[in-house]
Amino acid sequence: MHCRRCPRLATFLDEVRTLHSDYFAAPVPAFGDPDPRLLIVGLAPGMHGANRTGRPFTGDYAGVLLYNTLFQLGVASDTQSISMDDGLTLTGVRITNAVKCLPPQNKPTTAEIRCCNAFLRDEIAALSRQCRLLALGAIAHQAILRSYGLKLSAYRFGHGTEHRLPDGRMLIDSYHCSRYNTQTRRLTEPMFIEVMRRALA
């Protein structure tokens, strides 16, 4: 995918490519089963994670808990995701981001989130109606609601909260598996495993 809809993000990626010529440094595509029963939605690629490797949650701290949990629950072929060519496969699970390009300081603007939302909307629309959605963090939660054209105030984010969407799909919320959330114990491994298990049920 080649996209320059967001001038700030496109310019930033140009700068990153100059500094790190071996980085993927482009919009990061979804990864996993093409016909999943669960779509996991994160925020955006990390500078030295997905932006480097070209795979969501790969090469940074947030992916450690995510992929290990997927392995424990029997839907990932390995405990960790290292690179695009490491042979890792996901069964029944697909991972994507609300914003496909690396944002400066890992903070996309509201306008950038809205601009990128068409891609998420198309991703969700292409899935089976039985596919559940797991939002990692409030921004991913809001991006999913935006993709449905729903009022954000009608579906409040909360870890472990489940929402029935108008098309019958279930949206489940989780705190993001970031270094900050896990180190402060806002999100513990048992909490994450439990919400992931429910999302996969």
CATH number at residue 115: 3.40.470.10
Residue 177 lies in a domain: yes
Whether residue 2 lies inside any domain: the answer is no
The conformational region for residue 197 under phi > 0 = left, psi -120 to 50 = alpha, else beta, is alpha
Residues near 131 by beta carbon (within 8 Å), at least 6 away in sequence: 36, 37, 38, 39, 169
Average pLDDT along the chain: 96
Range of the domain at 188: 12-200
In a domain, 5, yes or no: no
Helix, strand counts (H, E) of the chain:
7, 6
Asked, for residue 72, whether it belongs to a domain, the answer is yes
Average pLDDT for 113-141: 97
Please give the pLDDT value at position 2: 76
Backbone angles phi, psi at 137, to 5 degrees: 100, 160
Taking residue 195's Cβ as centre, other Cβ atoms within 10 Å add up to: 22
The arithmetic mean of pLDDT across residues 171-194, rounded, is: 96
| Contact partners, residue 105, CB within 8 Å, separation at least 6 | none
In a domain, 23, yes or no: yes
Establish if 92 belongs to a structural domain: yes
- Structure confidence at residue 1 as a pLDDT band (50, 70, 90): low
Q: The tokens 């071996």 sit on which residue?
A: 22
Tell whether 167 is covered by a domain: yes
- Residue 9 confidence class, pLDDT cut points 50, 70, 90: very high
